[in-house]
Amino acid sequence: MSISYEGKGKRALITGASAGIGAELARVFAEHGFDLILVARRREKLEALAEELARDMKTDCHIIVADLGDPAAPRAIFDEVTSRGLRVDALVNNAGYGIPGFFRDTKWEDQAALIQVMVTAVAELCHLFGPCMKARGYGRILNIASVAGHLPASAGGTLYSASKAFVIKLSEALHFEYLGTGVHVTALCPGFTWSEFHDVMGNREEMNRLPKFLWLDTNRVAREGFRAVMENDPVYINGFVYRLITWFVDITPDHLLYWLIGRQSGQKPTA
């Protein structure tokens, strides 16, 4: 049986829609007929994207400017959506970033904000919007994790890898909780992807030295992510190379992996 990707009359809320993978996901959802609610901190970027999509695809776009590092943000977003009389049929938890350097050398406030954005806000938005989707018998929840969530963590990866492993486990559990209800839940796991991510991390120069075959583009990541959630895959890893790496990790004994990671720890960039 073929599954309809049709989004006409439906609306997707996308966090981190001002750049990179989130902006591209907005374009892909719009192409399939979804109207949108775009969420991020940079209003001008959201406005430019909303203008582009309204002009090119006749998409009805709402903007909510929010800092997901603020513990009040998920509830405020939900209340704002409700007060505007909007319905969220698809939720994309995409906003994210990494913190450079070793855990021990960073400020706790920065680490706590990362947990808020990439763990707590993701779980809370699923908790707020999921039940409404179930009540209507249709929902799509796409949580952007990372291949880093599948690999053993290395020094400096710290809460980034841990948060992505959390997103994978949360998504798997919700996937099974919502089976048969019309609500699909998927964790998307890209590898290194060209976006603003590594500029924000401040390691662009180092990253540019990585071989080309390791890089994905945002369009491919977004298209595969959209298809994965429409087809209700619990977890989708972008790219053959990353599926191969994950498979290798799965079949390699832990002591060998730890030895390998110990040798290069601290040098492995975050994805």
- Looking at the annotation, which residues are catalytic? 160
229 contributes a contact to ligand NAP by CB under 6 A? no
Name the residue nearer to ligand NAP (CB basis): 67 or 134: 67
Among 14, 19, 50, 126, binds ligand NAP (CB under 6 A): 19
28 contributes a contact to ligand NAP by CB under 6 A? no
Subset of residues 160 to 179 that bind ligand NAP, contact rule: CB under 6 A: none
Segment near ligand NAP (CB under 6 A), from 29-37, 78-86, 90-98, 226-234? 90-98
One symbol per residue from 101 to 140: x for binding ligand NAP (CB under 6 A), - otherwise; what is it? ----------------x-----------------------
Among 28, 30, 36, 40, binds ligand NAP (CB under 6 A): 40
Q: Which helix (H) or strand (E) holds 16?
A: none
143 contributes a contact to ligand NAP by CB under 6 A? no
Segment near ligand NAP (CB under 6 A), from 81-89, 103-111, 190-198, 248-256? 190-198
Structure-token pair, residue 72: 């009040």
- Integer Cα distance of 141 and 103 in angstroms: 31
146 contributes a contact to ligand NAP by CB under 6 A? yes
State the number of binding residues for ligand NAP (CB under 6 A). Answer: 30
- The nearest distance, CB 7 to ligand NAP, in angstroms, is 21
Taking a C-beta distance cutoff of 8 angstroms, is the pair 53, 63 a contact?
Answer: no
Q: What residues line the site for ligand NAP (CB under 6 A)?
A: 15-22, 40-42, 45, 67-69, 94-97, 117, 144, 146, 190, 192-193, 195-197, 200, 271
